[in-house]
Structure 1
Amino acid sequence: MKKKWQLWIGGKWREAKSYEPLNNPHTEEELTQIGQAEPADAIEAIVEAHAAFQKFRDYPAHARAKILAKAATIMEERSEECAKIIALEGAKSIRNAREEISRTVQTYRFSAEAAKSNYGERIPMDAAEGGENRFGFTKRTPLGVVTAITPFNFPFNLVAHKVGPAIAAGNSIVLKPAEQTPLSSLFLAEVFKEAGLPDGVLNIIPGKGDVLSEALTTHPHVKKVTFTGSVEVGHLIQQQAGFRKLTLELGSNSPFIIDEGVDIDKIIERSVMGAFSYNGQVCISIQRIYVHQSLYEAFLERFVARTKQLVAGSPMDEKTNITAVISKKSLERLQEWLEEAVQEGAKLECGGKVKGNVMKPAVLTNVNRDSKVFRNEVFGPIVCIFPFDTLDEAIEDANDSRYGLNSGFISPSLERAFYAAERLETGGVIINDIPTYRIDNMPYGGWKDSGVGREGVKYAMNEMMEEKFISIKTSDE
């Protein structure tokens, strides 16, 4: 690994004025030094991206598709190297890291396909009086410079969900990766250079969000801002960006409802995975589980037993399930929220102990609805389990949240499944599976404070383009 990583601007490595150490969250050892972009660097990157866009906007769709397909192939060939980067900088288990890279390759391949599937529609002009002898149609055109601000938890795939559609649409990009996981993004400089992406189309500037935010959201050349992160930062970006196009993928505290009549033995493994995969540091991690009263005691017993079996250890160990959380600051917050919940009456069924930077997965019952672990996004290995008597009661409790990203509902009754799907206030309702389920071509985005706009390659690409209507008068009659 390089001793230090510079900024990637205009197709070249640029020296930064300052560097900061990047540490492994598990061992706390220094991995490398990362260049820290300043506002002037962000402006330079935006100017370079704008210049590159003037030519790239005219690249034919097949050429953009070939670049994206080549990038996917390069990543696939170097997949183990990519997975190790995630494990080192993000402390994600190597097995989960490999899964992420597999999805990332697929996301870029979906993007390659989307580049060739950019359709408008014909408008039946003569459907309206006065529309005779006219031909009307729409077409989508690229916006220009897209700035992308990405989180730490899926440092390759959530970047791909912004970079892939932007390139597919013919835009240029300035990418500011998460401060905790910049290596995954910087690695893309080599990948896309080799894939044939013109210089300046992709620019990568690690640095502090509060330092770079204003330049990335207010510069006149910036036409679209796409951000995944916290609600608080999302609100700030919305204020700064003004009338620019926005995609904001923000917080969640996903509910999972287990209806009466469900075979709980078949869902324990999925439920535990949905709550504690990558230590619960997943936007659609299960945070609240609602179990029908007839199943509650049996489910709780099995869930706790399986949770206790999860193996905590090194991200590089193939057997590891639970690793270090991303930072000491995050760990301290989790401990504080857990202690507060217990003081407010919650019962800690298992977990919660801390060793090093690892928190044992915690299961809570009897949680006060005003506790932070219920109201806020935990983003850690803590789950709350509640019994319910009626389906309406469970749905009402699940909807009692400022968030609305994904929800899950499992039931042997199709009628009750549709009933719940219509009433759950979330952007996605996953029937007969956990809310943590996501594939990379489905529409993905939230209601309420979970954000605005949609990702999922085709949907993200459409939001990175403008729609233009064109009418042609075909006769003077």
Structure 2
Amino acid sequence: MQTVSVLNKSYLNGEWIEGKSSRTYDILNPYDRSVIATVRLASKEQLDESFDRAKEAQKLWAKSTVEERRGVLQKAAEYLKANQEECIQTIVRETGGTVLKAHVEFQLTLEFLEEAIKYADEVYKVREIPGSPEKLNHIYRLPLGVISSISPFNFPMNLSMRTIAPAIALGNSVVHKPDIQVGLSGGSIIAKAFEYAGLPKGVLNVILTDIEEIGDGMLNNPHPKLISFTGSSAVGRHIGAIAGQNLKRVALELGGNSPFVVLSDADVDQAVNAAIFGKFIHQGQICMIINRIIVHQDLYDEFVDKFVARATGLSFGDPSDPNTVIGPLINEKQLEKALQYIEAAKQEGATIALEGKRVGNVLTPFVFTNVDNSSKLAQTELFAPIATIIKAATNNEAIEMANDTIYGLSSSIFTSDLARAEELALNIDSGMTHINDQTVNDAPNIPFGGNKASGLGRFGNPWIVDEFTVTKWVSVQTTQRQYPF
């Protein structure tokens, strides 16, 4: 892999380009705030130019063969595999994620890339629909066009690749803006992989910039046919409004408030094991993270005691240490926001079962019990190592509480009655429910996405194929048709 000093540039029309803004941005290590790279930000004019180049490049890429598309994807995967250790180190340094988290993210990135190889033949494939003897009905999927891609700070490599790889596999071009805080792992490394793979110039453009420079330029440019965004529900609503005005498609994976429901017949020890992982992986900075732990009153005290004991013993500190479980939050703003949530919860009267502390840029686990499900603490997407445990009087009440949120991304149910659990899973208004597992699960061949304020659309094969293509009906009249006038 090239050095950071080279990859700190935007990748536009097949070239590594210095930004034309008057401003620079320091990408910092969240643990010690040391500078990883300094980026000259790209300008609005450069963004517009990248969309122009992407539109032109897509016309040719749409005519590429299945073998060409598969070959590029395979070589991009080869590049990542050959540079795995440096990729993982960059994820740790940029995101503040632990070594375990970085390995998980890297593996998911590869899986999404390799899954895209499987459906590169879906465009132009003809499907015949039965009609009259005199008419043939042929249905095609065609490339959609230019895709605008915006990815977040928490799992930047994976959440970028799950848009970029399918788009390229299906004959589209992409203009991609990673969160500038993680511009290397969220954009530059991916651009380098596809450059190595021989992707024609202009098909993938990665722009390193921020909203202050480009405003709504990723949204209101006339060229993209779809806006793919992972991030907050507030920003998602803004994107949806602009997309609707301009009749653009959207793929929105937004915020979450995932419930982890422990029913009266659950295995408490295993539920605690799952809850500890699903709450504290990556310091709680995951859209699918367990946000509310809802426990039947018969198991509540036992669950709380065991959960607090486990949370107390979690190691924290430098994420580059393979033994670390809790690393830093991404930046000072997120850390201050988490501390404000904690103080507000104390004022609301929630019980502190485990009081954590700030150690440098690390926040150690906090556990609140006797939390009201309607409280601000319970209804807020915390994005921090703050656990809330809520008592339910009955199993039915637990499910009702699970649904009492504006969000609907992921959810979990712990019980020994698997048949009943599947019935209950269908009653939870979320895009995903996991029985006897925690809420943080992803794979390239499942319909990943949320309901309500958690988003629109589904990632994963084959659902992403419909999202990133346009359907075309071609009919062939085989005999002369007699018209009524």
TM (normalized to structure 2)? 0.94
CA contact (8 A) 1:344 1:368 kept: no
In the alignment, structure 1 segments of 5+ residues that lack a partner are 127-131
For 2:143, the equivalent position in structure 1 comes to 142
In the alignment, structure 2 segments of 5+ residues that lack a partner are none
Q: How far apart in 2 are the matches of 1:297 and 1:154?
A: 34
| Paired residue type of 1:31 | I
Q: How far apart in 1 are the matches of 2:273 and 2:443?
A: 19
Q: Given the alignment of the two structures, is residue 87 of structure 1 paired with residue 92 of structure 2, yes or no?
A: yes
CA contact (8 A) 1:341 1:368 kept: no
CA contact (8 A) 2:225 2:249 kept: yes
- SS of equivalent to 2:389: strand
1:101-141 CA-to-partner distances (Å, cap 9, x unmatched) read 11111110001112134555321113xxxxx4111121111
| Paired residue type of 2:151 | T
1:69-93 CA-to-partner distances (Å, cap 9, x unmatched) read 2111211121111000011111111
Q: How far apart in 1 are the matches of 2:418 and 2:100?
A: 35
1:391-411 CA-to-partner distances (Å, cap 9, x unmatched) read 221111111101000111121
For 1:15, the equivalent position in structure 2 comes to 18
Indicate the RMSD between aligned Cα atoms, in angstroms: 1.5
Q: How many residues align structurally?
A: 472
CA contact (8 A) 1:345 1:368 kept: no
Q: How far apart in 2 are the matches of 1:466 and 1:117?
A: 11
Greater CA drift, 333-342 or 289-298: 289-298
Q: How far apart in 2 are the matches of 1:228 and 1:465?
A: 20
For 1:26, the equivalent position in structure 2 comes to 31
Q: CA deviation at 1:212?
A: 2.6
| Paired residue type of 1:221 | H
CA contact (8 A) 2:227 2:249 kept: yes
Q: How far apart in 2 are the matches of 1:429 and 1:111?
A: 25
Q: Given the alignment of the two structures, is residue 443 of structure 1 paired with residue 447 of structure 2, yes or no?
A: yes
Q: How far apart in 2 are the matches of 1:32 and 1:457?
A: 35
| Paired residue type of 2:162 | H
For 2:108, the equivalent position in structure 1 comes to 103
For 1:71, the equivalent position in structure 2 comes to 76
Which of 174, 186, 189 is matched with 1:187 structurally? 189
Identity %: 36
CA contact (8 A) 1:136 1:471 kept: yes
Which of 244, 252, 255 is matched with 1:251 structurally? 255
For 1:361, the equivalent position in structure 2 comes to 365
Aligned pairs for 1:230-269 (under 5 A) are: 230-242=232-244, 243-269=247-273
Q: Given the alignment of the two structures, is residue 288 of structure 1 paired with residue 289 of structure 2, yes or no?
A: no
Are the structure 2 counterparts of residues 360 and 351 from structure 1 closer, same or farther at C-alpha, using a change threshold of 3 Å?
Answer: farther
Q: CA deviation at 1:458?
A: 2.9
- SS of equivalent to 2:345: helix
- SS of equivalent to 1:180: helix
For 1:403, the equivalent position in structure 2 comes to 407
Greater CA drift, 164-173 or 346-355: 346-355
- SS of equivalent to 1:396: helix
CA contact (8 A) 1:108 1:164 kept: yes
CA contact (8 A) 1:22 1:180 kept: yes
- SS of equivalent to 2:367: strand
For 2:433, the equivalent position in structure 1 comes to 429
Greater CA drift, 222-231 or 382-391: 382-391
Greater CA drift, 214-223 or 162-171: 214-223
- SS of equivalent to 1:156: helix
CA contact (8 A) 1:165 1:458 kept: no
Q: CA deviation at 1:273?
A: 0.5
| Paired residue type of 2:98 | S
CA contact (8 A) 2:253 2:454 kept: yes
Q: How far apart in 2 are the matches of 1:211 and 1:239?
A: 21
- SS of equivalent to 1:282: coil
Q: CA deviation at 1:440?
A: 2.4
Q: How far apart in 2 are the matches of 1:355 and 1:21?
A: 23
| Paired residue type of 1:125 | G
- SS of equivalent to 2:4: coil
Q: How far apart in 2 are the matches of 1:286 and 1:138?
A: 42
Greater CA drift, 351-360 or 208-217: 208-217
| Paired residue type of 1:13 | W
Aligned pairs for 1:69-468 (under 5 A) are: 69-118=74-123, 121-126=127-132, 132-184=133-185, 185-209=187-211, 211-242=213-244, 243-468=247-472
CA contact (8 A) 1:168 1:461 kept: no
CA contact (8 A) 2:373 2:390 kept: no
Q: How far apart in 1 are the matches of 2:431 and 2:235?
A: 20
Greater CA drift, 83-92 or 411-420: 411-420
| Paired residue type of 1:21 | D
For 2:65, the equivalent position in structure 1 comes to 60
Q: How far apart in 2 are the matches of 1:411 and 1:370?
A: 24
CA contact (8 A) 2:122 2:465 kept: no
CA contact (8 A) 1:335 1:352 kept: no
Q: How far apart in 2 are the matches of 1:387 and 1:148?
A: 40
CA contact (8 A) 1:72 1:106 kept: no
- SS of equivalent to 2:473: strand
CA contact (8 A) 2:262 2:296 kept: yes
CA contact (8 A) 1:76 1:102 kept: no
CA contact (8 A) 1:213 1:237 kept: no
CA contact (8 A) 2:122 2:141 kept: no
Are the structure 2 counterparts of residues 181 and 214 from structure 1 closer, same or farther at C-alpha, using a change threshold of 3 Å?
Answer: same
1:277-315 CA-to-partner distances (Å, cap 9, x unmatched) read 000001100011111222111111111111111100111
